[in-house]
Structure 1
């Protein structure tokens, strides 16, 4: 072991700047009377999304004489929505999240997430508020807004909702991934590949860019648009090649959410993944009544990378996983 690995991965000056920015964020929400909350980092349930992988542990001893499986949260979302259903009103949280996924300059298994929910907001109102917060931190000006379809048409010249598989293969040739697309049968997998290679690098370079109204098949926990059933009321925010946030006009229908979880389980089985432990308490909260609201999760570490002009997420964290 290197003798220097005891030292932080970020400089003390960077950590001071980090503290100042996080304090600025807290003041932002305090001025708007959005309550700060804390929820558990561990849960008896985990997410069903095939692209998210939870860390698992086992509770033993007096608290669980027969042992209990627990999962580190990939996001505080489900717990926060239970608070909303209990009548909390508008809330936010700056929390640790944990994802067992790929490494890279934008990834660390443990990271800090800002998540907030605004009762009575739709996704457009939440984008407005988020725009103000991002400009406060980055002094970057107002964000551009593109629909998912517009982003594809602008960057790749195709409509992702109506394009054929042959259209996707043709576009993929210019991205050097035609072989992958030819063999892939899942439309959303193809769309995500083309979006990451052919759209993301070209949007939000001069100023942040909201991409909204993703395909209905990629709704996750968002409502399907009442005016266009092909799309979901979901948005993501990009800036300088960094995916910063993912937000929803939140689905409030417990039955529909249960159906989406069941579909996720089917996809997990197709991919040879173990079934997820579905959060029945979250579904019960939806059934009891989640208020109309919009919510968003923003990666604090990535935001700080942009604010402090660093190249790697490790440079804005006190101790990266290699030094933990």
Structure 2
């Protein structure tokens, strides 16, 4: 529907909303067939994300600040540590300031965890889900290094800062100098490499160690430390972000504190981090792999929609 429709009406067509209902049913069937249980975790919490690239939405509850969950990750990991087993969450997540053609501050997220699995095995299941929903049989898996070497003749792990900056200036129209090597890599990925991925399913793994987030860091076959995480793309659109999960409580604490220092240095809001996750890791969260997938984006691809408001009944402008 166009913006000229009355503001009480949904921006998504009734057909798109029926497709959404069918997609949610298909996802639940996919996991039921694999004996993965659906779990509910709070969307309101006294703790927030520490990720420097994500901002939480703040609310008041009984006079105290609380935060809308940017993902169900912390709650699901606490369940894993308690012995819940393979589980998934299918529901709402919230992120401040994310609005546009592919983003809405309130969105639908699918996140699931497999006990005893690593990132490679979970990548295969992500490919199976995407192939089933989208009807795509072309699935390729390649490393972050292979993607950069194929398209840019550059090793992203070993190139110098100067080489990365020069490559970014050559390949991307910039009006500024990137502040870090990760910023160079992100610019090259979003502006040059994602559009070159093609129409199939691309599973990209072994990211730079500096981009580990909550994934473990291991040494690859070349002796290079890499983050054991992956991203799934279809037609250059990122759909999923997965990890061979970090289970080291001390390392998790260190990363939370590093995020806080970075946020403070960048004059970003510093939120209370989830120390209960650290406690869960200390208690013994099992070895596992987990992945988060954007359901609204998946529906956009499945139905051939161009903008996120075409698949959400009431985006933020009409909420």
* Normalised-by-shorter TM-score class: over 0.9
State the shift of 1:281 in Å. 1.1
Change in Cα spacing, 1:89 to 1:164, as seen in structure 2 (3 Å) is same
CA contact 1:131–1:142 (8 Å) conserved in 2: no
Aligned to 2:53: 51
Cα pair 2:172 2:191 within 8 Å, conserved: no
Partner of 1:195: 189
Task: Note the C-alpha offset of 1:104.
Answer: 1.7
After superposition, residues 87-236 of structure 1 pair within 5 angstroms as 87-180=83-176, 183-203=177-197, 205-227=198-220, 228=223, 230-236=225-231
- Provide the rounded CA distance (Å) in 2 between the counterparts of 1:120 and 1:5: 48
C-alpha deviation, 1:2, in angstroms: 6.9
Q: Is the 8 A contact 1:156 1:198 kept in 2?
A: no
Shift, 1:102, TM fit: 3.7
What is residue 308 of structure 2 aligned with on the other side? 313
Give the CA deviation at 1:32. Answer: 0.6
- Contact 2:219–2:225 under 8 Å retained in 1: no
Is the CA contact 2:300–2:308 (under 8 Å) kept in the aligned structure 1? yes
The secondary structure found in structure 1 opposite 2:193 is helix
Match of residue 285 from structure 1:
280
For 1:2 and 1:284, locate their aligned partners in 2 and report how far apart those are by CA, in whole Å.
51
Q: Is the 8 A contact 1:93 1:115 kept in 2?
A: yes
Conservation of the 8 A alpha-carbon contact between 2:232 and 2:241: yes
- Residue 282 of structure 1 and its aligned partner are, at CA, apart by 1.2
Task: Check whether the contact 1:149–1:160 (CA below 8 A) recurs between aligned residues.
Answer: yes
User: Which residue in the other structure is 1:34 paired with?
Assistant: 36
Q: Which residue of 2 aligns with 1:63?
A: none
Question: 1:274 and 1:244 mapped to 2: Cα distance?
Answer: 27
How far residue 301 of structure 1 moved from its aligned partner, in angstroms, is 0.3
| In 1, Cα distance between equivalents of 2:274 and 2:124 | 31
Paired residues, number: 315
TM-score of the two chains, using structure 1 as the length reference: 0.94
1:93 deviation in Å? 0.9
SS of the counterpart of 2:226?
Answer: coil
Deviations 1:202-257 (A, max 9, x none): 11x22110110001111001011154452010000111121100000000011000
Give, in angstroms, the shift of residue 3 of structure 1.
Answer: 6.6
SS at match of 1:232: strand
Root mean square deviation of aligned Cα: 1.5
d(CA) in 2 for partners of 1:248 and 1:101? 25
2: CA distance between counterparts of 1:3 and 1:29?
Answer: 38
Q: Which has a greater percent of strand?
A: 2
Q: Which stretches in structure 1 are left out of the alignment for 5+ residues?
A: 61-66
Q: Does 1:21 align with 2:23?
A: yes
Does the CA-based 8 Å contact 2:96-2:105 persist in structure 1? yes
Q: What SS class does the counterpart of residue 206 from structure 1 fall into? A: coil
Matching of residue 71 in structure 1 with residue 67 in structure 2:
yes
Give the whole-Å Cα distance in 2 for the aligned partners of 1:157 and 1:104.
Answer: 33
Q: Which runs of 5+ in 2 are unaligned?
A: none
Give per-residue Cα distances to partners, 1:85-136, cap 9 Å, x unaligned. Answer: 0000000010101011342211001000000000011001101111111111
The equivalent of 2:265 in structure 1 is 270
